[in-house]
A and B are shown apart, each in its own frame.
Chain A
C-alpha cells in the first residue's frame, strides 16, 4: 500500500462522514464513463449469434463448430444488458439514452429473456439482496458448487420455482403487465424450436439455442448470482456480496470477482470494477466486507 492516506490506521482515524466522502470520491473516479466496449460487445454478440443460423442452415459452417460459439454467445448476452439495466451506457435524458435501451433490449435475445423483466427484477435484487422473500434471486443460494448445480437444474423443471420468483416480484411491484414481454419471448423461442424441428432442423435448433440457453443459464447463475453472493446471509450494504478469486480468472468468471463494487456503486461499468475494487480495497476491509482471497494481495 503506497498511499499513506489509505493505510488502515489513517482510515480508522477518519470520522464516519469523512470515510463516506473518501469512499464516494474514489468510486466517483470510475463512474460517468460510457462503456463503449459493452455496447460493441452486446450488439456484435447478437450479430454473431444470428449469423450462425444461416451459416449452419446453408452449410457454410458445421453445426459442431457453431455449437460452442452459440454457447459462448448466449453466455455473453446478459452482461451488456446488465450495463443498460443500470443505465450505465446513458441515463434518462442523455442524448444516447436510445442506445442504452437498444443494447438492453436486443442483447438478451439469445438468452431468451426480456429486458424490462430482467431490469425490474434486478433492481429488486439490489434493493433486497439476500432477503428470503424479497430478493428474486434468493433461491439460487446453495451450500456449495454441486448443491448449486443440482438446485439450478431442479429449479427450472416444469414444477420448479424458477420463473415464479420473477413473476411474483413483478406482481409485487405493480409491473405484472411487463410479463407479457416474457410471454412473447417464450412464444418466439418455442415457435422457432418447433418450426425448426418439424422442418428437419431439430439438431440445429437444439445446438444453436435450446442447449446453449440451458448451459449459459447455469453459467450465468453460477457466476452472477451464486458465487458473488455466497453464502447469502448478510443483507447490509457492505455484506450483501463478497470478493473472491476465481480459479478460472476474471474473464471466464465474467468479472464477478469484483461484484462487491457493483453492489456498492452500480453505475460503475463492469470493465472498471477491477480497478475500482483495488482502489477501494482498504476501505472495504475496514467496512467489514468479505473480500475473500484479495485480502492477501497488496
Chain B
C-alpha cells in the first residue's frame, strides 16, 4: 500500500507541475528572454508549474474544462 501511495503521488498533477512544467517554463522564459520584474526564471517557472499542477490536481484537468 505504501508503494501504491508513493506511485499515486509520483503520478499526481501537482508533482508533474513542479517537476516538469516548472523547469520547462523556466527554460522557455530564458529562451524567449522575457524580462522578469523580480526573481529568477526558475522561480517563475515553479510558480507557473505549481499553479497549473494545483489546478489540474483540484479540477482533474490541465485545460480547466473538466472531463465529463
Q: Nearest chain A CB to B36's CB is how many angstroms away?
A: 17
A198 and B57 form a contact (CB under 8 A): no
A200 and B65 form a contact (CB under 8 A): no
A161 and B27 form a contact (CB under 8 A): no
B20 and A157 form a contact (CB under 8 A): no
Asked if B2 is at the interface of the complex by the 8 Å CB criterion, the answer is no
Q: How far is the CA of A284 from the CA of B66 in the complex (A)?
A: 41
Q: How many A-B residue pairs lie within 8 Å, measured between CB atoms?
A: 65
Q: Which residues of A contact B26 (CB under 8 A)?
A: 202
Q: Which residues of B contact A48 (CB under 8 A)?
A: none
Q: Nearest chain A CB to B19's CB is how many angstroms away?
A: 4
**Contacts A190-B10, A203-B31 given: A158-B24 contact, CB under 8 Å?**
no
Interface secondary structure of B, over-half rule: helix
- In B9-68, the 8 Å CB interface with A consists of 10-13, 16, 19-20, 22-24, 26-28, 31, 56-57, 59-63, 65-68
Size category, B interface: 20 to 34
B67 and A203 form a contact (CB under 8 A): no
Q: How far is the CA of A158 from the CA of B13 in the complex (A)?
A: 7
Q: Which residues of B contact A200 (CB under 8 A)?
A: 23, 27
Asked if B1 is at the interface of the complex by the 8 Å CB criterion, the answer is no
A154 and B68 form a contact (CB under 8 A): yes
**Contacts A186-B11, A190-B10 given: A153-B63 contact, CB under 8 Å?**
yes
**Contacts A197-B24, A202-B27, A203-B27 given: A155-B10 contact, CB under 8 Å?**
no
Q: Nearest chain B CB to A73's CB is how many angstroms away?
A: 20
**Contacts A194-B20, A198-B19, A202-B26 given: A183-B67 contact, CB under 8 Å?**
no
Asked if A34 is at the interface of the complex by the 8 Å CB criterion, the answer is no
Partner of A158 from B20, B27, B31, B62 at Cβ < 8 Å: B62
Interface set of A (CB-CB < 8 Å, partner B): 153-155, 157-161, 183, 186-187, 190, 193-194, 197-198, 200, 202-203, 205-206, 210
